[in-house]
Structure 1
Amino acid sequence: MTDFLSLAYPWVKSLHVMAVISWMAGLFYLPRLFVYHAERGQNGGEPAQSFQIMEEKLLRMIMNPAMVVTWLAGLALVLTPGVVVWSDLWPWSKAAGVLGMTWFHMWLAGQRKALARGQGLTGRRYRMMNELPTLLMVVIVVSVILRF
């Protein structure tokens, strides 16, 4: 099995990077949709219905699969011999960042349901939360590239 992982490493890493890009795009865009939904779509009718469709499809058709592939490919990379030195700090800081991203993803899924019920946060609050994936991305990228 470890021989297979070593041979597949460049392919798995490529898949991981593509999945992360897709996941991050959704993590950046969904809170922006929430801002518009909270500010322009709370009176019911057409804007609210359109926002709900866009939010649901983005989450279900792009973000959820991208997150799953990111996790599966990432775990395959972690299991590849020689990739991770567990005595270093970087795999732990990256793991903390990935867990933070996953929590944010789940929080967004809950907010989508709350907005559909007319119980979401304000547009300003969603704008503020939209900065969280950027901060987590910085932690993850710096951890992996600098390997401190």
Structure 2
Amino acid sequence: MLWVKAVHIIFVVAWFAGLFYLPRLFVYHTDTHDDAGHQRFALMERKLYGLMTIAMIGTWVMGIAMIAMLPGYLHLGWLHAKLTLVILLTGYQGFLKMHLRKFASKTNTKSARYWRLMNEVPAVLLIAIVILVVVKPF
């Protein structure tokens, strides 16, 4: 169980690194107007998204494995709340993928300020998830 939890945490950290960094790349990409810069950011974004996807899948697989090892946890309210937030994060990653495609096709219409604000979404969810897991308020 502890090995599964350790691997789960490793995947979570990797996933969040990508969730924090991709919107930041979008900020810089928004401010880039030359073709070489566009190509460079599009490549970086695509490669980062691939790594994020591996980390997200690993997070889900290890999380499900832990639940399978301790099925009684499914009756705990904090776990339901945490899983809801993880589903939101997964949707957020899909949202980022949609915009990654827009950047790649040069059809992004969002400002750098917008992406700076969107960069805060995973931070807020991370804080809530950590509180739920550590404090277990319900």
Length-normalised TM-score, structure 2: 0.94
Select the residue among 10, 14, 18 that pairs with 1:26: 18
Task: Name the CA distance, whole Å, in 2 between partners of 1:17 and 1:48.
Answer: 34
The CA distance in 2 between the partners of 1:26 and 1:111, in whole Å, is 15
Distance 1:14 1:83, change over 3 A: farther
Q: Residue type of the partner of 1:64?
A: T
Q: CA deviation at 1:89?
A: 1.9
Q: Which residue type is aligned with residue 79 of structure 1?
A: A
Q: Please report the RMSD computed on the Cα atoms of aligned residues, expressed in angstroms.
A: 1.2
If asked which structure has higher relative contact order (CA below 8 Å, sep 6+), I would say 2
1:80 aligned residue: 69
Aligned counterpart for 1:45 among listed residues 5, 14, 35: 35
Tell whether 2:3 aligns with 1:14.
no
Runs (4+) of structure 1 moved beyond 2 Å? none
Larger Rg: 1
TM-score, normalised with respect to structure 1 = 0.88
Structure 1 distance, partners of 2:83, 2:67, is: 11
Structure 1: runs of 5 or more not aligned: 1-8
Aligned residues: 136
Unmatched tracts of structure 2, length 5 or more: none
Alignment correspondent of 2:131: 142
Task: Map 1:92-111 onto structure 2 (within 5 A).
Answer: 92-111=80-99
